[in-house]
Structure 1
Amino acid sequence: MNHQERTHAVLSASGAHRWLLCTPSARLEEQFPDTTSDAAREGTLAHELAEMKLRHYFQTKEFGKRKYNAEVKKLKTEELWQDEMDGYTEIYKDYIKTLALSFPAEPYSAIEKRVDFSQYVPDGFGTADCILLSGNTLHVIDLKYGKGVPVSAEENPQMMLYALGAYQAYSFLYDIRSIHLVIIQPRLDSISEWECPLGELLEFAEYVKDRAKLAINGEGEFCPGEKQCRFCRAKAQCRARAEENVKLAFNPDKGKLPPLISNKEMGKYLAYGEDVAKWLSDLKEHALKECLAGREVPGWKAVEGRGSRDWTDMDAAFEVLKEKGIAEEILYEKKALTLAQVEKTIGKKDFAEMVGGMVVKNPGKPTLVKESDKREAITNKITAEKAFQEEQ
């Protein structure tokens, strides 16, 4: 499949977390161009490599070693190619290979399968990265190459829509009773799995049908929030989001209150402020674009930021300096690459084999996250176990 030419439905599976919560947003977004980024193009390239690896594994006769090597060679000529893509997509392939080998018989596999869930969502379709069918279980597996935040497979609307499409395609051949969803994010060392009975998926389908009917007509109530606004193309100009964030930022609770806020209130205000900060950032970015395009934003203007200096010809300049008696040692400094740069240069696998035993992972600086974060909470309060160890 040519990943660059993937088409997207108005009510896309990837945007379901948005239009299911904020139904009018899908039509509102249509007024704004659907732009891409280097990170998105890099993800597309990684998906193409991952697809080739799975085809080579599951469809060896049609996609043999010679064809596989030729296709990978083409990918390596792409501007955004990184050697580390090979290792990260290998993690994805190895997971699927291990899963397939765990079944009592070879599973049915579909790679980059276009699935249709229009029975529940008007003109609804999408592309599932990998589908495996074995026994009574439908497995839907998704590769996410980004390195932003871990994405959970639990009740994930995008994955559940893919599963609905796959169920529609294969239920007449397979007695599907269970749904197994997997999201693999190799750059975050994250594999999230979730399983549910078919009945739960079909209950979700009925909920989706009602919400999709509103969304396709641009109806329903706007429901701004950090999760649904994050990738919305209308986020900078959305009136509902603006009003919600102004309310959160400038309308504190009324009434007689103590002079100091409690920890409970602190948690509440942190949650309130999270999208306020993002909204202001989005607003400033959009206002700058408007000013640069020659359109007036009252009270604001675009100016040139602080510039920087650079050589017109560094080698020639250094030659002049050396001719004037400046020692070469003063002009250059010997600087080691960082651990991450060395690993990227020689490859993750070779790095682990050669010097993996000489690496120690230092604890990170404490940071505040939401309670839903999977990492273990830390505290400066010493535990009884540690205190006993110190006494010993």
Structure 2
Amino acid sequence: MPDVHARLSASGAHKWLYAPPTLWMEEGLPDFTSPYAEEGTAAHSLVELKLKYATDQITKRTFTRRLNKFKEDSDWYSKSMDEYTDQHVDLVLEALNERPNAVLFSEQRVDYGKWAPGGFGTADTLIVDDGLLDIWDFKYGKGQLVRANYNVQMMLYALGAVAEYSLIYEFDKVRMTISQLRLGNLDTFEISLPELLAWGDDVVKIAADHAINGDGPRDWDNPQTWQFYKAMGFDKSLAEYNLKIRKYKFKEANTLKPEEIEDILDQAPRIRKWLDAVEAYATKQLFDGHEIPGYKLVEGRSNRVITDKEKAAAILEKAGYEDIYRPKDLRTLTQLEKTVGKAEFSELLGDLIDKPTGKPALVTEDDKRPALNSIAQAIKDFEED
């Protein structure tokens, strides 16, 4: 059984809600990470710090010390991040100030285990008061517009917040706001408490049970089920779904109808991403020593690089070469080699030229390049040394 405490997450809810078996398929696979995610985490930390100071949860001295440390330590801090987080904080405070008796919680853990066993998440901001539960979700990314309308991640946060605070406050409705200011997106959605609780009972509970047991339907038409699916490269169900497109080769007519072209184009984003995932999975399998019939890994192409551009420029200038610069940088290695001549270029800068090892590339077995970790590759490496 997968670790449901870690897997029935709010951020991954689209997968286990609408394709429950993906919970099992992803078990043990590493999480996706990217520079964009790291930047978003930094921005969230800055928002949390500013909100705590604005609501008197920390002193000015503590705020200044932590802010200076954040600016010094973070690789992502910028004036732009400062401005966008200020704008977001101002919007949240405006909502808070409209309700004199409300209390704000920042980066609050919420537990919705009543509906999804072991499920929990961290809500960016909660504003709680009798009548209305207000949830704010700060999105710093600018790649994909996020909507609040029946946003399942925020609805799970809402269930957790209701479970946490309903003994103290009497909620009638929940208001959820996506704040994605880098895309000019401020989107709000309201839902009544009875509708939210019915969704928890009729949708979340059933999907969570399916996910834990590794069964249930898979809605592959919903991009949220496969957009960040870690098992995409080897899920047989998804492969069979994508390969249904083969039906068009059995058509009697020689040309596709417009509506058939539309159908193919609608499926293209999912199929392209799936093919990339299958290739990445096959590459990993071969790299780990497994076999994929008809395929092998070879060393991919790589470009030569100048390891010390300042030193290279000094050597070329001393040798009498002047036309070695672009407007803001040294000219490319290829351009310099043409200017100086291959022989003299090698003599002058040979010690400063490096050719990194190319990344493993997946090719068919009839490719003439030797397979990585093969005897032919070992001989090639020995000859180069």
Name the TM tier (shorter chain). Answer: 0.7 to 0.9
SS at match of 1:275: helix
**Aligned twin of 2:304:** 309
Q: Is the 8 A contact 2:96 2:104 kept in 1?
A: no
**Aligned twin of 1:377:** none
The worse-fitting range, judged by mean Cα deviation, of 309-318 and 113-122 is: 309-318
Q: Is the 8 A contact 2:5 2:118 kept in 1?
A: no
**Aligned twin of 1:235:** 232
**Aligned twin of 1:333:** 326
**Aligned twin of 1:94:** 90
**Aligned twin of 2:51:** 54
Aligned ranges 1:53-92 → 2 under 5 Å: 53-58=50-55, 60=56, 62-83=57-78, 84-92=80-88
SS at match of 2:154: helix
Deviation at 1:244, TM superposition (A): 1.0
Q: Is the 8 A contact 1:136 1:178 kept in 2?
A: yes
SS at match of 2:43: helix
**Aligned twin of 2:317:** 322
**Aligned equivalents of 2:257 and 2:133: distance in 1?**
50
Q: Deviations over 1:154-175 (max 9, x none)?
A: 0111110110111111222222
Distance 1:94 1:35, change over 3 A: same
Distance 1:297 1:87, change over 3 A: farther
Letter in 2 for 1:65: K
Distance 1:31 1:315, change over 3 A: closer
Letter in 1 for 2:208: A
**Aligned equivalents of 1:230 and 1:302: distance in 2?**
27
**Aligned twin of 2:189:** 194
Q: Deviations over 1:232-268 (max 9, x none)?
A: 22111111111111122x2228555573522x33332
> Percent of aligned positions with the same letter in both sequences?
37
Distance 1:85 1:252, change over 3 A: same
Q: 1:154 aligns with which of 149, 158, 162?
A: 149
Q: Deviations over 1:91-125 (max 9, x none)?
A: 2212101222233x242111111111111111121
**Aligned equivalents of 1:33 and 1:324: distance in 2?**
52
Letter in 1 for 2:238: R
SS at match of 1:40: helix
**Aligned equivalents of 1:322 and 1:202: distance in 2?**
74
Q: Is the 8 A contact 2:145 2:185 kept in 1?
A: yes
Distance 1:24 1:48, change over 3 A: same
Structure 2: stretches of 5+ with no match in the other structure:
330-385
Q: If the length of structure 2 is used for normalisation, what is the TM-score?
A: 0.78
**Aligned twin of 2:14:** 17
Aligned ranges 1:252-271 → 2 under 5 Å: 252=248, 256-257=252-253, 259-262=255-258, 264-271=259-266
Bigger Rg over Cα:
2
Cα RMSD, aligned residues only: 2.2
**Aligned equivalents of 2:321 and 2:17: distance in 1?**
67
**Aligned equivalents of 1:35 and 1:261: distance in 2?**
39
Q: If the length of structure 1 is used for normalisation, what is the TM-score?
A: 0.77
**Aligned equivalents of 2:168 and 2:243: distance in 1?**
54
Q: Deviations over 1:70-91 (max 9, x none)?
A: 1122222335223132122222
More strand by share: 2
SS at match of 1:77: helix
Distance 1:334 1:128, change over 3 A: same
Letter in 2 for 1:42: E
Distance 1:302 1:87, change over 3 A: farther
Q: Is the 8 A contact 1:9 1:126 kept in 2?
A: no
SS at match of 1:302: strand
